[in-house]
Amino acid sequence: MAHADPAMKAYYAARAREYEIIYAKPERQADLRRLEGLIPAQFRGRNVLEIACGTGYWTQHIAHTARSILATDLAQETLDVAASKDLPQDKVRFAIADAFDLPVTAGPFNGAYAGFWWSHLTHAQCRPFLQSLHKCLAPGARVVFMDNLYVEGSSTPLSRTDAEGNTYQLRKLGNGDSHEVLKNFPTEPDLLGRIEGLGVNSRYTQLEYYWLFEYDAR
């Protein structure tokens, strides 16, 4: 069974307090404003499971429309930042969870969201992750993934590609520490192939710096 990468957990734990600096990039503001409208609209009145919620940036937007959110992450450090936000306590709960071993007993959910998580999956992990996720979902649940497009001059350059075709970036934190981070950039056909037999009514939206992929669970 696949499990979340301990190195990735350590990286995001160390980055927790500076994570949201990435949202300040001037060239990405138009895309972010659009996503802040598009993503919550998909979850109006739904009970949502959020995977890899990080510091809760997207949790706070989804909370405007969702009936409830269980926001999960593997790192306590990022959850601490998320929990410090002014979020409706009657709607939002936080829990530590491995994305490959999600809290099935807390569902079923009729909505699921993961932002900037898909790109941190190896090609071999994509299907096991989806199978873990779908165990938590009711038929017809709305599933939304959002992540980065690779844009020269804005994205961190790729540092290497492994034998399986997974790509990596070398990222530096504010304290000077460097971390090699898995960062894949799937195409629309890649995503469609991954949900075969699991989802219907899919839609792929490409912005300038991000992609959005939505479908309904079978």
Spell out the alpha helix ranges (H) of 109-175.
Answer: 126-134
Fold of the domain built from segment(s) 6-217:
Rossmann fold (3.40.50)
- Residue 155 CB neighbours (<10 A): 14
- Per-residue pLDDT tens digits for 76-116: 999 999 999 999 999 999 999 999 999 999 999 999 999 99
CA distances from 75 to 62, 66, 88, 135, 145 (A): 21, 24, 22, 22, 20
Under the banding of pLDDT at 50, 70 and 90, the label for residue 136 is: very high
Question: By 3-state DSSP, what share of the chain in percent is helix, strand and coil, each rounded to 5?
Answer: 35, 30, 35
Q: Give the 3-state secondary structure of residue 206.
A: strand
pTM for the whole structure = 0.95
Q: Write down the pLDDT at residue 2.
A: 59
C-alpha span between 49 and 105 (Å, rounded): 12
- Per-residue pLDDT tens digits for 18-72: 999 999 999 999 999 999 999 999 999 999 999 999 999 999 999 999 999 999 9
